[in-house]
Amino acid sequence: MQTYKISINDTKEFYKNLDCDISGATILSKKSKIHTLYIKNIHVGAANILKQDALSIGADLAVPSGVIIAKDKYVDAVLIGTTKHFETLARKELAQPFGLKNLAKALKDYVKEHDFKTKIMGVLNANEDSFYKNSRFDNSQASFLIEKMIEDGANIIDIGAVSSKPGSIAVSEDIELERIKEIVDTIYKSKYYEKVDFSIDSYSPKVIDYVLNHGFKIVNDITGLQDDEVCKITASYNATVVIMHMQNNPSNMQKEPFYENVILEIDDFFVNQINKAKDFGIKDIVLDVGIGFGKTLEHNLILLKNLEHFCHFGHELLIGASRKSMIDKIVPSLTEDRLPGTLAIHLESIRNGASIIRAHDVKEHFQAIKVFEAINSIN
């Protein structure tokens, strides 16, 4: 007999290849993935009930000392268990008091599996003040750059005409439309929208209406649907919307950003904005935690490490950290020297649940993602 430690990604497929029967493979798959769920401000009574229920099925709940004697009325705890454990607890806690019914409903969402194909969103900027100069272009370069991005492996091309870098100032709708109109017309006349999906990086109703009427399919709104008119227009074209989180606005977002709990506050934001989008009739929603938009380096790192949390919404997750200053804060580097750091962030984001990667360097990302996927496809 010989042994060796293995890493399994597609557990269900692995157990089928091991010649387990189909029902057995499903059961074993649910026992193979471990989840750790942080529970904030749980009633001490609920903590004691959940602890006992968890232990009874082989899971566990980490709690502070003193919980058993109800030293504090509310505590923080960490639930540890497999997918199978969470599904079992989701049923058991439905009949329990102290808010455990709400927890039971949440547990189901945390273990749902989603199979979104990884997509690369290439970035092009029709303005002169974008923080990365190599992404800037005008109509004379439009066809060449779009065709190159398609050839390099882009699934989506995101075009913007207003800088959103820290300290940037917004421009009028007319100026924004003037910057992008010829480029959009070229895309429409050349029918590039038949080869790749186009996204508009804008929160201007006038601009969004124009581009959606000219072949664009995605609205990438850094304000996260604050404008009702943007909601109406997006819904009327049955377009996809990217809801991004940003604290404050580009002109002041990096002036001492603060959160009590960055994950929970962004989660609350998404709950509200998803409901708003659905109320307006928007069906296809993508979520973006907004790396670098009103966040410190620590906030960004926390979000990237715990990105899987936001999978519970059931929507695709977009990450755009391409060449951003957080890399410079870790390893001092100029914007043009941050590709290695960008790839590290984006590959880790895919591992943690992201399926859309917004990047300046499409060709390099295509290769890196294909290699990453090849490694992870081996069982």
List the catalytic residues.
324, 358
Phi/psi class of residue 240: alpha, beta or left (left: φ > 0; alpha: ψ in -120 to 50)?
beta
Alpha-carbon distance of 76 to 64, in angstroms, equals 8
Alpha-carbon distance of 271 to 315, in angstroms, equals 12
- Greatest Cα pair distance, the chain, in angstroms, is 74
Q: Are 132 and 159 in contact (CB under 8 A)?
A: no
Give 119's strand partners: 356
Residue 218: what residue type?
I
Residue 192 in 3-state DSSP?
helix
Alpha-carbon distance of 87 to 94, in angstroms, equals 11
Q: Alpha-carbon dihedral of residues 340, 343, 194, 274, nearest 10 degrees?
A: -140
Alpha-carbon distance of 319 to 317, in angstroms, equals 7
Q: Alpha-carbon dihedral of residues 4, 85, 266, 373, nearest 10 degrees?
A: 30
Alpha-carbon distance of 343 to 359, in angstroms, equals 9
Residue indicated by tokens 């943690």? 352
Cβ contacts of 65 within 8 Å, gap of 6 or more: 71
Using the 8-state DSSP alphabet, how is residue 163 labeled?
-
Cβ count within 10 A of residue 377: 10
How are beta strands 60-62 and 119-125 bridged, if at all? unpaired
